[in-house]
Structure 1
Amino acid sequence: MDVLKYEMPLLTGSVQSLEAFKGKVVLIVNTASQCGFTPQFQGLEELYKKYEDQGLVVLGFPCNQFGKQEPGGSEEIGAFCEKNYGVTFPVFEKVEVNGEGAAPLYKDLTKAAPGLMGTKKIKWNFTKFLLNRQGEVVGRYAPTTKPEELEASIKDLLAQS
């Protein structure tokens, strides 16, 4: 299933084709600025900086569906990510990840990698999806999984052509 077939708006307002990331290892994360897991931005940025040259890209998708922990607009979200965590990886405009209004990207991600007991629902902020260089979902990780815990899997995928 090709989950990278979409074009999505970045926080800056420009539109990014996700197909541009084919050939890279992609980590997709639904984020929030006011969540207990928000400090994971630091680990995500560290992974991105460490492996960007080898082909890793981290994509952040802010979401306000869990405890209303992402109430701000695009400018606010971008300023928060940059100021507090020095985020340089692409961050997109706010999306919904569950329900009728869920972004088609997230409908595809949850279909390709259902959660516990086959549920397609995203449980909370900072759920992570790892894609190989062919754009296939190879892993889904809980919000409690710290970014650094994905490093071995990322290195394995980066080593594959």
Structure 2
Amino acid sequence: MNLSDIAVTTLDGRATTLGEHAGRALLVVNVASRCGMTPQYSGLERLQQRYAERGLTVIGFPCNQFMGQEPGTNEEIAQFCASTYGVSFPMMDKVEVNGPGAHPVFAALTQVADATGDAGDVAWNFEKWVLGADGVPVARFRSRTEPESAEVVAAIEAVLPGPS
């Protein structure tokens, strides 16, 4: 499964694809600003800073499907992420991750199984997928798994294109 050709829109309205990050490992995360797990933005930003030079890009996809925890406009989301967590990684337009309106990126990612072998719908905000530099998903982590946990870091380090 290669997600590189799927059209996405950035938080500021620019049309692009995940292929814009070709040759880089990706950590794709569905995010929300008013969730108990919102502090995970800090760990995501630290991963971006720690591994960017080795070829990692964290990409956030805001989603309002879980108890309305991302109600803001794109501008409000951008402001919140920058001012509260110093987010420097790319943020995409607010999307749906489940159901008939699921964005094609998540329609594909939900086919990826987690460590227990479970695939299917996104259960909550801050689920994470690691994609290799070839655009192929290699790991899925559920919401409660912290971004800087040993298993997420190991999955990222296994697919980084740059030298250690």
1:29 — aligned with what?
Answer: 29
Q: Percent identity?
A: 43
Worse-matched range after superposition: 64-73 or 6-15: 6-15
Q: Distance in 1 between matches of 2:146 and 2:119?
A: 21
TM-score (norm 1): 0.94
Distance 2:22 2:143 in 1: 25
- The separation in 1 between residues aligned to 2:62 and 2:25, in whole angstroms, is 20
CA distance in 1, matches of 2:100, 2:17: 23
Q: Deviations over 1:89-122 (max 9, x none)?
A: 00011000000000011001112x0355644110
Residue 84 of structure 2: aligned partner: 84
Aligned length: 160
Correspondence for 2:99: 99
d(CA) in 1 for partners of 2:141, 2:131: 12
Question: More helix per residue: 1 or 2?
Answer: 1
Q: Which SS does the other structure have where 1:114 is aligned?
A: coil
- TM normalised by structure 2 equals 0.92
Residue identity in the other structure for 2:49: K
* Residue segments in structure 2 that go unaligned for 5+ positions in a row: none
Of the three residues 151, 156, 159, the one matched with 1:157 is 159
State the AA in 1 paired with 2:25. V
SS in structure 2 at match of 1:147: coil
Q: CA RMSD in A?
A: 1.5
4+ residue runs over 2 A deviation: 114-119
Long gaps (5+) in structure 1: none
